[in-house]
Amino acid sequence: MHKEVPILVLDFGSQYTQLIARKLRESGVYCEIVPYSEKIEDIKKREPKGIILSGGPASVYAKDAYHPDSKIFDLGLPILGICYGMQLISQHFGGSVVAADHHEYGKAELMFEDDHKIFKDTKSGQIVWMSHGDRVEKLPEGFIKIAYSANSPYAAIADEKREIYAFQFHPEVYHSEEGTKLLKNFAKYICGCESTWNMGSFAKEKIEEIRAQVGDKKVLCAVSGGVDSSVVAALLHEAIGDQLISVFVDNGLLRANEREQVEAMFKAKLGINLITVDASEEFLTKLKGVSDPERKRKIIGETFIEVFDKEAKKHNGIEFLAQGTLYTDVIESVSVKGPSKTIKSHHNVGGLPDWMKFELVEPLKEIFKDEVRKLGLELGLPKDMISRHPFPGPGLAIRIMGEVTKEDLVILRKADTIMLEELKATGYYDKTWQAFTVLLNVKSVGVMGDNRTYDNTACIRIVEATDGMTATFAHIPHDILENMSRRIINEVDGINRVVYDISSKPPATIEWE
């Protein structure tokens, strides 16, 4: 944990909260997100130079509204409130907040007359993103209006003496044209932060942290061959050398030739010794007859732990288990950072069972996927490894709807291989975030030659994203999709129909289960 955190974000449950951290980090200013209920003593310990109050789904005047410790306003630190955060500030200092006549969702023009510090080097008339049902009706004493929009007379307010600012809009989202600059202005010109944080400094800091945490003990590292676990392994190798024991589990749910590729990559390119455990029969036996996606995930997660525990017992001095848990995993799995809703459980989040004696090492749990890739390049990992698309821990089990069988795994592997071959051949693999094939286990009538068929449907899912928290379906040219479909139907026995998923996240998740 960082002793000093230049900017601390208090999370009130907005789905955009993590974007505040991303935007500031992109600007070279390190920040962390903590729950809105963080104790004032813990806030002081982090020695922040400024605090940001995030948006949130509640109304400040509702009975169960989220409120921070009011002593944050007595710390004498600069504060920026965003949306719900603005309403909290207004309410705390004696202003009034009411339900708006018109809910304001979407783009708005931000107009301001004076060049306040927070607007430095940005233009009046910039597009910002509004998303609120409440509004400030009366300003608290000491506050002035510094910007407005067509539907928000108080789009931005400030008490410049106390250095408290508030926006009714969301500067952190993509649609706010100069939002990143506004957040950086708050950090730089109001909080006095410098742009010194980058992946190089993060790597050095994490290496020191790992050495301090681990000492002379050994660490068992769960390796999948994906970007996250590869970066974790490289970071640990750099920090503790031979104290690292990297284990790759073949769970029988991998893509075609994946085991061989992972083994070659670790030994030849990284120089890290890799132990491979073939536990495919164990996983598939436990998944027999299971259709519920959450049960699948939990069975796979529990079996992983059992396999690693068995492997650990073969080595003396192992006290730690390393995992490639990312910040997005944490947010989507449990509300550790605030009151945001759980979407689905991840197999590598939520700690270890009581019977295990390992302590967790999770060096990536406070960073995002795009930052992990940058960290990998910083550590000298090959670019082709870093640019690999994400692959979920539960593997193909959550890309087969319903029960997982050996027969379905064979069909899905073949279809997925063809789709990826076409995507790479056309250059679209590197232009997209994630691409995979799903076996729907929905049968439909088809005609092949002169014969009627009644076979399975495959769905192709290709998305564009930055950190996986939001995603849009990729606009792949129709002729490429047509080639994928033609090849899959012609070359894979058991599939007679291919569809393309055109849903975005939200409301859909990237994976189907």
Catalytically active residues, by annotation: 83, 170, 172
Per-position DSSP letters for 37-90, written without gaps between them:
T--HHHHHHT--SEEEE---SS-TTSTT-----GGGGGS---EEEETHHHHHHH
In 265-357 the beta strands, taken as DSSP E runs, fall at 274-278, 318-322
Rounded to 10 degrees, the C-alpha dihedral 40/43/49/54 comes to -90
- What would the two tokens of residue 318 be? 């192992």
Q: Centre a 10 Å sphere on the Cβ of residue 506 and count the other Cβ atoms it contains.
A: 11
Task: Tell me whether residue 241 is exposed, middle or buried, using C-beta atoms within 10 angstroms of its C-beta: 0 to 12, 13 to 18, 19 or more.
Answer: exposed
Rounded to 10 degrees, the C-alpha dihedral 40/41/46/47 comes to 80
CA distances from 446 to 135, 420, 450, 457 (A): 56, 24, 10, 10
Looking at beta carbons, which pairs linking 151-156 to residues 24 or more positions away fall under 8 Å? Answer: 151/100, 151/102, 151/104, 151/108, 152/104, 152/108, 155/108, 155/110, 155/111, 155/128, 156/110, 156/112, 156/118
Decide: 8 and 32 in contact? Cβ < 8 Å.
yes
108-132 per-residue burial string, b: 16 or more CB within 10 A, e: under 16: bebebeeebebbeebeeebebbbbb
Q: Which residues are CB-neighbours of 460 under 8 A, at least 6 positions away?
A: 419, 435, 436, 437, 438, 481, 484, 485, 498, 499, 500, 501
- The DSSP output letter for 105 is E
Decide: 29 and 6 in contact? Cβ < 8 Å.
yes
